[in-house]
Copies of this chain bind each other. A is one copy, B any other.
Amino acid sequence: MSEYRTALIVGAGSGLSASLARLFSKNAMQVALAARTTDKLASLAAETGAKVFACDATQRAEVEKLFAQMDGSLGAPDVVVYNASFRTRGPLADLEPADVEKAMAVSAFGGFLVAREAARRMLPQGRGAILFTGASASVKGYAQSAPFAMGKFALRGLAQSIARELGPRGIHIAHFVIDGGIRSARRLVSPDKPDALLDPDAIAQSYLHVLQQPRSAWTFELELRPWVESF
């Protein structure tokens, strides 16, 4: 059980976000889900009792509105998880600049906007947690994947910087390096390679564990990968 009460998950359309919503809800947290498009979140919201907000996290005004709506309904979140990301691949020479801008905006700039609003509310309380979902690309720039590397490296730079600023003010910042593919309805594990994709419920357990850490022994960065993943 965590001492936190209200969790906002941004980028709520992913399978990991669904696992987090369920686990947080089971652990007595009130959950809020934010996503650019919310039409697919109805059943998850029903299942978890979550409140749903439409928000394009790359737009300052929308992020400010999201937090204002939280203030006026569930109250400011004491846990925020930033899961949004956008990736595109290809040889450098063929990449579309607009896609690169979008990758940086969704994967990193939105994380900044969300963390800023969260920090403004957590700082006066001297407590709270902001969790960022990274990837293999957070620590290694793969060939033909520059946009994702740029976004995820930037997000990690943000997380490190604000961990150093906000940690001593009581706000727990953590960055998860998800080093492998995540299992989903579209991406099934092959029977001859059991557990070769990360189970999103298992990832969620590690997020919850980090939320439960007392402040004398906080984790900033934690890698998660399948047993058979090369690294």
Contacts and interface: CB of A to CB of B under 8 A. Distances in A.
Contacts of A172: 227
Interface string A206-227: 1001001111111111111111
Given A149-B157, A157-B137, A157-B154, A225 B231 contact: no
A216 B198 contact: yes
A104 B221 CA distance: 23
A203 B223 CA distance: 17
A48 to B, nearest CB: 21
A27 to B, nearest CB: 14
20 contacts: A92-B115, A100-B109, A104-B108, A141-B159, A144-B161, A146-B162, A149-B154, A150-B155, A150-B157, A150-B158, A154-B154, A195-B215, A199-B214, A205-B217, A206-B219, A209-B209, A217-B225, A218-B225, A219-B224, A220-B231
Given A165-B91, A222-B222, A199 B227 contact: no
B231 A216 contact: no
A205 to B, nearest CB: 7
Given A165-B91, A202-B214, A217-B225, A150 B146 contact: no
Contact of A230 (B149, B164, B214): B164
A25 interface: no
Contact of A112 (B142, B150, B217): B150
A144 B196 CA distance: 22
Contacts of A146: 112, 157-158, 161-162, 165
A15 interface: no
A143 B164 contact: yes
A4 to B, nearest CB: 15
Q: Lowest 8 CB-CB distances: which A-B pairs, in order?
A: A141-B160, A153-B157, A141-B161, A149-B157, A202-B217, A143-B164, A195-B216, A154-B154
